Amino acid sequence: MIPVGGFAGQRVAVLGLGRSGLSAARSLAAGGAAPVLWDDRPEARAAAEAEGFALHDLSRAGAFEGVARLILSPGIPHLYPAPHPAVAAAQAAGVPVDNDVGLFFAALGAGDWVRFDAPPQVVAITGSNGKSTTSALLHHVLRDAGRPAQLAGNIGRGVLDLDPPGEGEVIVLELSSYQTELARALTPDVAVFTNLTPDHLDRHGGLGGYFAAKRRLFAEGGPDRAVIGVDEPEGRFLAGQLAEAPSDDRVIRVSAAGKIGGAGWSVFARKGFLTEWRRGRQVAAIDLRGVKGLPGAHNHQNGCAAYAAARALGLGPKLIERALHSFRGLPHRSQVVAEAGGVTFVNDSKATNAASAARALAAFPRIRWICGGLEKEGGLEALAPYLPHVARAYVIGREAQGFALKLGGVEAEVCTTMAHAVARAVEDAQPGETVLLAPAAASFDQYDSFERRGEDFVAELRARLGAG
C-alpha cells in the first residue's frame, strides 16, 4: 500500500466503494486522514463498515461541511451526462474533487528520493484500444530484462495498492479516460498514447471531450518522454503539440500503418516487421510475424508502443526482442485458446466497440465471426472494410436480429446465445479458418463483464471440441 499524506487529521470523503474507492480509503487512513465513505449500494456500504470505516451519507444537506476533498471512483460521472448529486453538492460547496490516480501521483511526488541512486519511474499508458496489452507487454519486457516493475491501474491492482517502489523500479500504469479526466496530479516520466477511436462519448460529451480527457496525461505533468501513436489525426496533433522541432526526440512517434519519415525518433510496423529509426537512420528491426502473443497489425502497434516505451527507459533492442517472444498475451484480447482440425479459435471478448472489432477482423483472412451484444454509440461503420474477411457471422445478444441486419453483405445467422453460436461456428469451420469472438458490442445485455463473456466462449468451445 502507498500511504497518502497531506490530509492528516482532515475528513476526506470517498464516493464509490469498489476496488479503487476502498483502496483510496485505506491509503488515506494510513496517511493519517479521517476518511468518510459512501456508496449508493447497501452491500458496498456494509463491506466498508465491516472494515471499520465511517459511513457518511453524501446526499444529505450539509454533507460536505468540514470535508477537505472528495475522492471519486472512476464509474461515477462528475460532469457528463450529468454529475452525480453528491459530486454536484461537493462542487457547490467548493470542495475539490480528485481520484485515486491523483492521490497516487501526489503521494509519489512527495517521496524521499534522496536515498535512491536510481529513483523509481512511472510509465502511464492510455488510448482507446490496446492499452491493456501494451501495459502488460511493457511490464513483461521489464521483468524479463531484470528490471523491478509493478503493473497497476485499469489492469490488475489499484494504483494505491502497489508496494512503495524501490531502487530503479518502474511502475507501469494503464489509465482509462475516466481516470485521466479527473486526476489532479498526472506526472509520469513516460506517457504513452496508443490510438483514439470513438468510445464513452456520453461520458465525455462527445469525441472532443474524450480526446481532451486522454490529452490531460500529457498536458498536466509534462512527461520526460511521450510515445504517441500517429495513425489517427488526434495522435498526429498531440505529437505536434509536444514536439519543439521535427528532430525533438522527447516524442517517439509510433505507427502500424507504415514507415514514418523525418529526423525524429520513430518506431513503426510494416509487413510484420518492427523498425526503429532515430536521427534519420535505422537503429533496429524485429520480425513480429513469429511473436505468437501479438497476432495481427493491431497487436503490432501495441508491440511498437511497448518497444518505444522500453527504449525510452534505456533497454536495448535485443533484450526487448527476446522478451517479445516469451509474451503470451492477455486473456480476452486476441487470445488463441485452441487449435483443432486446422482451425484456430480466438477469444477477443475485449473488442467491445466497432473499432476494436475491426482490428481483430483485419488480423485473420477467413473468419467464422461470433459478434453482437449491446451496441455502443458510434455504430458499426468501422467494420465495413474488413467484412470481406468474414465467411459467416453468428450473432448473439438480446438484439441479435437487429444487429445482424446492420452487417451488410455478410451472411449472418441469428444465434442469440453463446452456446448456439459456438456450436454452429465449430460445425461450419473449415481448415485454415479462424473462429473469432470479437463482439463489437458491450456485454451487459447478457453478461456482467466482457471477461465473463469470454470465459463463456472458452467454456462452450472446450465442451464442444471435447465432445467432437
Q: What are the phi and psi torsion angles at 221 (to 5°)? A: -110, -15
Residue with cell string 531484470? 146
Residue burial 362-394, b: 16+ Cβ < 10 Å; e: rest: ebbeebbbbbbbbbbeeebebbeebbebbbbbb
The angle that helices 42-50 and 19-30 make with each other, rounded to 10 degrees, is 30
Q: CA–CA separation, 226 vs 239, rounded Å?
A: 8
H or E element: which one contains 180? helix 177-180
Q: CA–CA separation, 72 vs 86, rounded Å?
A: 10
3-state secondary structure of 107: helix
Check the annotation: does 130 bind a ligand: yes
Q: CA–CA separation, 126 vs 147, rounded Å?
A: 22
* CB distance 101 to 175 below 8 Å: yes
Check the annotation: does 352 bind a ligand: no
Provide the grid cell at 329.
Answer: 498475451
Q: CA–CA separation, 382 vs 384, rounded Å?
A: 6
Provide the grid cell at 456.
Answer: 463463456
Q: What are the phi and psi torsion angles at 304 (to 5°)? A: -65, -40
Sheet architecture: strand order including 170-174: 149-153, 170-174, 121-126, 190-193, 225-229, 251-255, 265-270, 273-278, 281-287
Q: CA–CA separation, 444 vs 254, rounded Å?
A: 33
* One-letter identity of residue 116: F
Strand partners, 277: 266, 282
Check the annotation: does 129 bind a ligand: yes
Check the annotation: does 416 bind a ligand: no
DSSP string spanning 26-86?
A: HHHHHTT-EEEEE-SSHHHHHHHHHTTPEE--TTSTTTTTTEEEEEE-TTS-SSSS---HH
Q: CA–CA separation, 14 vs 56, rounded Å?
A: 9
Binding site, annotated residues for ATP: 127-133
Binding-site residues, in ranges, read: 127-133
